[in-house]
Structure 1
Amino acid sequence: MSFPPITSEWTSAPNSQVPTASSAHFSKQKPHTKLNKKKKNERKKKERGAAESAMARSPAARKPSAAQTVAVTLALALASAGLLFLLFHLSPSSPTPHPHPHRRLRLRGARASPSPRGQIPFDPVIAGLERRRDDREWERLAAAGLHAPGFEAAPVPEDYIDGGGGFGADPDEDYINDAARFNLTRRVEALFPKIDVDPADGAVTPAELTAWNLASARREVMHRTARELDLHDRDHDGRIAFSEYERPSWAWRFDDHNSSNDGVGWWKEEHFNASDMDGDGFLNLIEFNDFLHPADTTNPKLINWLCKEEVRERDKDNDGKLNFQEFYNGLFYSIRHFDEEASTDDSNASDAPARKSFTHLDLDNDGLLSADELKPIIGNLHPPEHFYAKQQADYVITQADTNKDGQLSLQEMIENPYVFYSALFTEDDYGFHDELR
């Protein structure tokens, strides 16, 4: 048997020695250990570099500049302010108070009577709220059966409706006292061009303000008249026969000799027929309004009836006319403030102003005043809505006319809003006084 020649690395080199076990072990392990240490060092360097890179990239590791700090602070402040603005204005429980904290706008109390006297609403929004309040009270009385014929004019105490007796405060008053929802300046700015119309010259005159007040008053009166007509119109034909109308329950207190304008004569058929301008036996809405408010009528029959009533209520000797004493004791004191000379006479003992007025009215010089001779003063005895509209306009202008030119600019109205809007004030607001309340 033959063997191949040995050609291993152990015999190829002439000077090589056959390695022993120990020498072979050390010759192989020593290079490997150095390599591992090198790799570990490189790995540690890489890990250290990666950590440093990560820290460098982290926002927390970077120190922000002053400009960046200011920008972030400003952004946070704006965001907070925006959030507070939204919460404040969107919250229904956070009304914006008026600039004058001691003044609170008031709505008039509900009235059951179809012919109230009081301040004429300047703002149609206020008029609408008060009309709605009146209608609610009207419906309440109707539901309680108090609007059966004969009960329609029962007075309702204003303090009871305003929370003094049982109905509670009206939320409408909270609305008109929230400056964010009902801003007086913006309301005046919106209404000014609607008042300044004759001509539209940038100034509101007494005549323009009187016309504005009169239109507002007539709307309210007609609204109540329509409501009253609906109550009495039993067959719902839009008109009233005398048989459908009954005088108010309180009229029984007055008799034919009572000197009050609320005497029984005002509820008799003669009054009804005098209001029936077309003579058809019925009163339509316009005629019924004249019946309830004869002071504003242009119906000659009704004016003549008014004059006869003045004579009837004061004619003590029943001769159908008024002598001087009957005139002096009755009518003169009702009209004296319309007579400048009489109103400035401080002499209580002198009847000279009364005699002068009597002589002026006694056209036939018979020493007596007939019903026809009272026609020139019937407007003083029964002032129409125009009288009250002008009275209120004159008062408002004297209060708000800061430059005393007899008219109002937009700026004057903006600076004096509470002159136009009736107000209630607390004890702390001593400077405010509202003559019209």
Structure 2
Amino acid sequence: MLLRSLAPLCLLAAVAFAVPAQEKRVHHQADLSDHDHDDKHSFKYDHDAFLGKEEAKTFDQLTPEESKDRLAKIVDRIDTNKDGFVNHAELHYWIKHRQRSYINENVNKHWKDYDTNQDDKIAWEEYKNTTYGYYLGEEFDDVDDKATYKSMLTRDERRFKMADKDGDGIATREEFTAFLHPEEFDYMKDLVVQETIEDIDKNGDGKIDLNEYIGDIYTPEDGESEPEWVQTEKKHFTEMRDANKDGYMDSNEVAHWILPGEVDHADNEATHLIQETDTNKDGLLTLSEMIDKFDDIKISTITDYGAMKVEEHDEL
């Protein structure tokens, strides 16, 4: 029974930034990192963007010399035209590749659990029985919060049906990807907005007021003074989120907030990495430039080649 596997499906933690916590609900395409992009305090965002979030977790186990050797092999893969340099286009493509790999790896991880008859498709009944099977027989009587689990089942079914474009009750790999990562698919984005409103809208009026917006991220302790970032979020709500100034965020305003346009964060990150690493300012990166710069920011955490398992079949 895989009820706990629902956690990765939740959109509540789609993008994990530092406070203010409301920014965790903003979807920036396939996430480059769960870390804040703040080079003054940490280069973890750049590490994740360069290698992928999962891969960047274990590289600190390598020695600096092992790191340099593996970095050389990664740079060789990024340098697709084999001219000895990494240009912006190659770096951009690499980062996009790591984004796609993260999504594919996540889908593959869940696929084998739910495709119980191994027909390379996942029917709603397969997903439902694998995730909720034990509790379904008892009508959720064995769980403390029966209403919550029933709500989760209803929400999963609605999302599954929305992802199932041909309506046959069976998800192909692409449809299952839309189920797990709805923010990546245009035809699922209305549902992303709807789920966000349902999460925050406590009085059920279909919109979000200031108290609900703040209550989603902050619960005051007895005698605690309100943090400055909460005041900032209140200001954001009244000045930015509530565009029509009616005191609420409706579905259009929520969409504008959590789906803020098609900014290419991979392109921005490629530009940033070149600016930070290109010591001779020719717009191209050499292996020596990357090693020199990564030494400065502790190369043993910059790349996770050790966990990447770069194989011949893992094509760019």
- How does the TM-score come out when normalised to structure 2? 0.56
Question: What is the aligned-residue identity percentage?
Answer: 22
1:377 corresponding residue in structure 2: 257
State how far apart, in whole Å, the 1-side matches of 2:289 and 2:254 are.
Answer: 42
Task: Kindly tell me the number of residue pairs found equivalent between the two proteins.
Answer: 240
Q: Deviations over 1:33-57 (max 9, x none)?
A: xxxxxxxxxxxxxxxxxxxxxxxxx
Whether 2:238 is the aligned partner of 1:355: answer: yes
Matches within 5 A, 1:68-87: none
1:327 corresponding residue in structure 2: 213
State how far apart, in whole Å, the 1-side matches of 2:256 and 2:284 are.
Answer: 33
Whether 2:63 is the aligned partner of 1:177: answer: no
State how far apart, in whole Å, the 1-side matches of 2:190 and 2:102 are.
Answer: 26
Change in Cα spacing, 1:349 to 1:232, as seen in structure 2 (3 Å) is: closer
2:156 corresponding residue in structure 1: 268
1:232 maps to which of 83, 97, 114: 114
State how far apart, in whole Å, the 1-side matches of 2:280 and 2:108 are.
Answer: 43
2:189 maps to which of 290, 297, 303: 303
Change in Cα spacing, 1:403 to 1:355, as seen in structure 2 (3 Å) is: farther
Matches within 5 A, 1:158-307: 177=66, 182=69, 184-185=71-72, 187-188=74-75, 190-194=76-80, 204-205=87-88, 208-245=90-127, 246-247=130-131, 264=152, 268-298=156-186, 300=187, 302-307=188-193
Q: CA deviation at 1:330?
A: 3.7
Whether 2:287 is the aligned partner of 1:399: answer: no
Change in Cα spacing, 1:192 to 1:349, as seen in structure 2 (3 Å) is: closer
Which segment drifts farther, 303-312 or 350-359?
A: 350-359
The structure, 1 or 2, with the larger RCO (C-alpha pairs under 8 Å, 6+ apart) is 2
State how far apart, in whole Å, the 2-side matches of 1:371 and 1:214 are.
Answer: 30
Change in Cα spacing, 1:329 to 1:233, as seen in structure 2 (3 Å) is: same
Change in Cα spacing, 1:306 to 1:255, as seen in structure 2 (3 Å) is: farther
- Structure 1 vs Structure 2 CA RMSD: 5.0
2:198 corresponding residue in structure 1: 312
State how far apart, in whole Å, the 1-side matches of 2:166 and 2:241 are.
Answer: 35
1:91 corresponding residue in structure 2: none
5+ residue gaps in structure 2?
1-6, 10-30, 35-46, 135-142, 219-227, 305-316
Change in Cα spacing, 1:238 to 1:184, as seen in structure 2 (3 Å) is: closer
Q: CA deviation at 1:368?
A: 3.1
Equivalent position amino acid for 1:397 in 2:
I
Say if 1:241 and 1:283, in contact at 8 Å, map to a contact too.
Answer: yes
Equivalent position amino acid for 1:303 in 2:
K
Q: CA deviation at 1:307?
A: 0.7
Equivalent position amino acid for 1:319 in 2:
D
SS in structure 2 opposite 1:268? helix
Say if 2:107 and 2:176, in contact at 8 Å, map to a contact too.
Answer: yes
5+ residue gaps in structure 1?
1-112, 132-157, 163-168, 333-344, 425-433
1:409 maps to which of 285, 293, 300: 285
Change in Cα spacing, 1:391 to 1:223, as seen in structure 2 (3 Å) is: same
State how far apart, in whole Å, the 1-side matches of 2:231 and 2:8 are.
Answer: 38
- How does the TM-score come out when normalised to structure 1? 0.43
